[in-house]
Structure 1
Amino acid sequence: MKAQVDGVKRMADEAGAWWVKLDGGGLSPQQRSAFEAWLAADPAHRQAFARVERLWGELDALRPSIPPAAASPRNVPPPTPVRKPRPSPSWRWPGLAAALALAVLAGTDPLVDWRADYQAAAGETRLFELPDGSKVQLNSRSALALHDRPDARELELLAGEAWFQVAPDPARPFRVLADGVSATALGTAFEVRRGDDKVEVTVFEHRVAVRGATGVAVDLGEGQRVSVSTRGPGPVERVDPALAGAWRRGLLVFQDEPLGEVVARLNRARRGRILLADPGLADRRVSGVFHTAPPLAAVDALERSLGLRSTRLGEWLVLIHH
């Protein structure tokens, strides 16, 4: 896993270095040929470079000289670059630092952005169709990487939560990886959520085989859920599929859960941050159904039900206190 992450970081560094060279102009024919050879060497190089363009601006003058992309085995089109004003050279690096600072404040992970093939931003859910015909719906602030192989359909949940509806293909197992946990579909519909210290798998239809980093496996049936930590799988729980998948309808359902977990889920579902002024508040128990829109309706409900108050800077920063 570490080698894979190191490879992604190296590729991102190479793409950024080429962007700086191209943006500066004056490339020799040999350098331009070397850049085109780097693009052609691996479809992932082109995707990495497209991400740089998306983040830091489109290379309008150079695009005609970049050879068209060959068919990628992932069948995932590169992201459409976002056109941005060209900063002057003297402001480029301060602008880069400011952009990274904003990313940290927004709770994003630049490495996740580099690796992701499918993403949902804060405050949205997105439905995608995968190359094999399977469908995936990503919850807010979620990201997924596709590692398609001839003998298997493998995806990695990099952040957040995803629901999968699997197209049948007995010759190519459908497997989702998340923080050392694997979930292999033995049926059609299931969900994986990646938390800070555990991975949660819920089955909506048929069965899913779940294996943790310890090697212990659990076979889940319809309406069952298991949480897997570094110590292995926990007890299998019964869940109501309608409640478990409520986030796909814009709802968050909590049943006697700690306020700290509720706040973490709300932060993932919206832009901005909710903070607890007193760490002791994190243990207060919460039950209820909250709409993810409008953004602060859930905070209003928490104040009423728990007898708390909040101090707010618009919708971006909310401090919950006594």
Structure 2
Amino acid sequence: MPKPKFIDHTRHTQKDNSLTEEAAAWFLRMQQSNRSDSEQQALEAWLSQSEAHRAEYQQYVRLWHNLDHLEPKPRKKLRATVAGILVLLLIFGTFQWIFHIEEVIVTAVGEHERIVLADGTTIDINTNTKLRLALFGFTRTVTIEHGEVLFKTGSERLRAFTVNAGSGVIRHIGTEFNVFTEDGETTVAVLEGAVEISLEDQDNAKAIVNSGQQLSYSGQGLSDISRADSETATAWRKNRLIFRDTPLNEVVRQINRYHTRPVKLGEPQLHGHKVSGEFNTTDRDGLIIALKTLYGLNSSELDDMTVLYAK
């Protein structure tokens, strides 16, 4: 696997930082003992405007809650200290939040890459994948255009970590999870912790997926939650493919993700043959020989592909 790439630089952009500043201002106002009922109602109206408003405000709530558990500092002194920090964030926000990291990462067919963020979050990227990584203010967002990515989030809890894939949004709850998205369908397998999955433009399409579970979704909706096979889901990190009663056409599709010269099934009746076993993703010839031996197949080499057919 290539040497991990550490994201530790910034780029200046003109992105609007008003939402972060508004959330901080509202939070500070709500900590004042003389706040009025009308101010509380105004906050609720502001929060109801969008999910983004609620997410930004929640970052300050979480920080406040976490610091409440720090001992032995007196509560009043601690709150005053945090309030001062938040005021400084507002004062210098114009300078701090305009700094923005954005990367576009693309892996070629058969290539893997690892990204390590400053807080220890690791992002392992599988073959033929394209994603965009954006770090801005209190948000960290990965948008997967296609391909497969394994996330293991680090110790930072102040900044939200979200993954956009296909027609859904995945929010981590301190976790490790694998995301594969292709042709409009996305599968999320949770290895540790939990994630919240919601579909864009479908307010009621939400689910919490816990450790050892997986879920698929598309623009049409969410699947039922099922058991995740963590060994199968992450085998690609060791250049392995694991199949358990997998239809042969799906096996061929998986093989083709790792090689530029595709394999095709020459006869429709072969599609339903079930395959079980473990294979090396880098050994294309070995894969083809194994399939031919196990299922009594022949192969033909054309100019641009290998065709498998029954004897």
Same fold (TM over 0.5): yes
CA–CA distance in structure 1, aligned partners of residues 263 and 121 of structure 2: 35
SS in 2 for 1:283: coil
CA–CA distance in structure 2, aligned partners of residues 279 and 211 of structure 1: 36
Percent identical among aligned pairs is 28
CA–CA distance in structure 2, aligned partners of residues 296 and 208 of structure 1: 38
Aligned residue identity for 1:303: K
Give the alignment of 1:21-100 within 5 angstroms: 73-74=100-101, 76=103
2:233 paired with 1:244:
yes
SS in 2 for 1:297: helix
The alignment's C-alpha RMSD in Å is 2.5
> TM-score, normalised on structure 2?
0.63
- Equivalence for 1:188: 175
SS in 2 for 1:73: strand
Question: How far did 1:231 drift?
Answer: 2.4
Structure 2 counterpart of 1:164, from 132, 144, 151: 151
- Equivalence for 1:319: 307
Structure 2 counterpart of 1:282, from 245, 264, 271: 271
Question: How far did 1:132 drift?
Answer: 5.0
Cα distance change on mapping 1:41 and 1:145 into 2, 3 Å: closer
Are the equivalent residues in 1 in contact too, given 2:100–2:134 (CA < 8 A)?
no
Give the alignment of 1:195-234 within 5 angstroms: 195-213=182-200, 214-215=202-203, 216-234=205-223
Structure 1 unpaired stretches of 5+: 1-39, 44-70, 77-116
Structure 1 counterpart of 2:115, from 120, 124, 128: 128
Question: How far did 1:41 drift?
Answer: 7.9
Q: Size of the alignment, in residue pairs?
A: 216
Are the equivalent residues in 1 in contact too, given 2:141–2:164 (CA < 8 A)?
yes
SS in 2 for 1:296: helix
- Equivalence for 1:310: 299
Aligned residue identity for 2:244: Q
Deviations 1:13-39 (A, max 9, x none): xxxxxxxxxxxxxxxxxxxxxxxxxxx
Question: How far did 1:317 drift?
Answer: 2.0
- Equivalence for 1:178: 165
Larger RCO of the pair (alpha carbons < 8 Å, separation 6+): 2
Are the equivalent residues in 2 in contact too, given 1:74–1:131 (CA < 8 A)?
no
Are the equivalent residues in 2 in contact too, given 1:156–1:178 (CA < 8 A)?
yes
Question: How far did 1:224 drift?
Answer: 0.9
SS in 2 for 1:266: helix
CA–CA distance in structure 2, aligned partners of residues 208 and 320 of structure 1: 40
Deviations 1:192-225 (A, max 9, x none): 0012241000111111111234341111111111
Question: How far did 1:313 drift?
Answer: 4.7
- Equivalence for 2:243: 254
Aligned residue identity for 2:185: K
Are the equivalent residues in 1 in contact too, given 2:259–2:284 (CA < 8 A)?
yes
Aligned residue identity for 1:302: L
Cα distance change on mapping 1:171 and 1:231 into 2, 3 Å: same
Are the equivalent residues in 2 in contact too, given 1:75–1:131 (CA < 8 A)?
no
2:179 paired with 1:152:
no
Larger displacement relative to structure 2 (127-136 or 239-248): 127-136
CA–CA distance in structure 2, aligned partners of residues 301 and 212 of structure 1: 40
CA–CA distance in structure 2, aligned partners of residues 226 and 217 of structure 1: 11
CA–CA distance in structure 1, aligned partners of residues 197 and 113 of structure 2: 25
SS in 1 for 2:143: strand
Structure 2 unpaired stretches of 5+: 1-11, 16-97
Deviations 1:215-266 (A, max 9, x none): 4111111111111122211121112322321111111111222222211111
CA–CA distance in structure 1, aligned partners of residues 149 and 214 of structure 2: 14
Deviations 1:54-96 (A, max 9, x none): xxxxxxxxxxxxxxxxx972165xxxxxxxxxxxxxxxxxxxx
- Equivalence for 1:94: none
SS in 2 for 1:245: helix
Higher strand share: 2
SS in 1 for 2:101: coil
Are the equivalent residues in 2 in contact too, given 1:246–1:253 (CA < 8 A)?
yes
Aligned residue identity for 1:162: V
